Homo-oligomer: A and B are copies of this chain.
């Protein structure tokens, strides 16, 4: 139970550094500036503060080569992620906030959630391990339940699977996907994949030819698939 010792801005930086490592394998000044909507010098300044926190460093700074979370930094990031995703699920399930709008609400609420409220929400929701986008919810102790998934773009042609996570937060994009029937738990079958990150054609559910849609590679790579059982069997060596 790490009593989050950081300001709202610090929490936001730590969370984005964590997410960038997850998404891109590293976190650079420029990437952080883009995600946080600030200019690069602001990022450098904040990284310096985080690296010299009086209660011990929250990040490691390799000048000109990006930034890295320490154990303490990871703990804060995971707490924010837990808050964020619990809130998303809570808003979605208990207040009917639409799927594509929970993210921005959670972004403001996550920083003012007490441990007590976090606990009550988790209990109310039955201690869930995934949020409405399929993103994993870390446990109180910072443990993330592992799940086997591949990106839609990495699936072989003809494969069938269940949409288990959508790795993309922007409202309009989520709305568009939902309008095609591409929502969590839906089954999809790959019809074709153009090479080099090209268009992916998928059939949604068990529907006929009008449930076939073409997706750009940039979009498709954010759709994560848990392989259907028979496929998973087949892939065992």
Residues in B neighbouring A101, C-beta threshold 8 A: 116
Which of B91, B94, B111, B112 is within 8 Å of A94, CB to CB?
Answer: B94
| Complex interface bits, A111-142 against B, C-beta within 8 A gives 1, otherwise 0 | 11010110011001000000000000000000
Residues of B within 8 A of A91 (CB): 117
A contact patch SS: helix
Q: Is A178 in the interface zone, CB < 8 Å from B?
A: no
Residues of B within 8 Å of A96, CB to CB, are 120
What is the oligomeric copy number?
Answer: 2
Report the minimum CB–CB distance from A165 to chain B (whole Å): 25
CA distance A111 to B95 in the complex (A): 19
* Nearest B residue to A96, CB-CB: B120
In the bound complex, CA of A236 to CA of B124 (Å): 49
Interface size, A (range): 10 to 19
**Closest chain B residue to A95 by CB distance?**
B120
Tell me which residues across on chain B come within 8 A of A108, comparing CB atoms: 112, 114
Residues of A within 8 A of B (CB): 91, 94-97, 101, 105, 108-109, 111-112, 114, 116-117, 120-121, 124
Name 21 A/B residue pairs within 8 A (Cβ), A-sorted.
A91-B117, A94-B94, A94-B124, A95-B117, A95-B120, A95-B121, A95-B124, A96-B120, A97-B116, A97-B117, A97-B120, A101-B116, A105-B114, A105-B116, A105-B117, A108-B112, A108-B114, A109-B109, A109-B112, A111-B112, A112-B112
